[in-house]
Amino acid sequence: MILTRTNKEFYKNILIVSLIFIIDRVSKLYVINLSKLNSDIEIFSSSFLNIIVVWNKGAAFGLFSFNENDLYNIFSGFILLVIIIVLILVFKSKGVKRLSYLLVFGGAIGNFYDRIIYKAVPDFIDFHVGNFHWFVFNVADIFISIGVLCLILIELFYKNYEIE
C-alpha cells in the first residue's frame, strides 16, 4: 500500500515537471520560429506588452550576463548544483511546499536545457508601462517565480503549520 502511494506521488511529480517543461519548450520554440520567419526580434508590440526574442546568457531576468566561456560554464555548473538542491528539497517536502518546489524545479530544468542546447536562454515576454520595461522573461521564469512566491508565503504565514 505504501509503495503504491509512493509510486502515484512519484508519477504525479514527474507529470507536473514534464508539463512545465513541455509548455516552456513549446512557447520558446514557437517564438524562436516566429522571429526567424519575421527576420526580426520584435514579434508583437502593444501599449503594455511586447513579444521579442532576447538571448539571455546570465541568470534570472538577464542578471549577471557575460560572454566569457569559462565563466559561463562555471556559472552553469553552479545553476546545476542549485537544481540538484531543489530536487532534494522536492523529495524532503510534501503538499503545497512540494508543489512549489516542483514549479521551481520544472522551470529551472527548462532554462537549464536551453543553456546546454543554445548556450543562452531565450526570453521573450516584455511588460512595460511607457518607457519603463520590466526584465524580459519566459514561461519557465513564470513557473520559477510562482514557486518561489509560494515558498515565501508558506514561510511567512504557515511556518508553524504543516500544509498538505
114 is catalytic: no
Domain for residue 37, yes or no? yes
> What percent of the chain is modeled with pLDDT above 70?
86
Q: What is the number of other CB atoms lying within 10 angstroms of the CB of residue 55?
A: 15
For residues 26 and 3, give the distance between their C-alpha atoms in angstroms, rounded to a whole number.
34
What residues does 127 pair with on adjacent strands? Answer: 49
123 is catalytic: yes
Given 24, 114, 126, 141, which residue is catalytic?
141
Q: What is the dihedral sign for C-alpha 139, 141, 147, 153?
A: negative
Domain for residue 145, yes or no? yes
Domain for residue 162, yes or no? no
Give the pLDDT band (50/70/90) at residue 42: confident
Domain for residue 23, yes or no? yes
pLDDT(135) > 70: yes
Domain for residue 163, yes or no? no
Given 24, 114, 123, 126, which residue is catalytic?
123
Domain total in the chain: 1
Domain for residue 74, yes or no? yes
Domain for residue 164, yes or no? no
What contacts 136, CB < 8 A, 6 or more positions away? 52, 54, 56, 61, 62, 123, 124, 125, 126
pLDDT one-digit tens code per residue, 13-27 = 999 999 999 999 999
Domain of residue 48, residue span: 2-157
- Residue position matching grid coordinates 507536473: 16
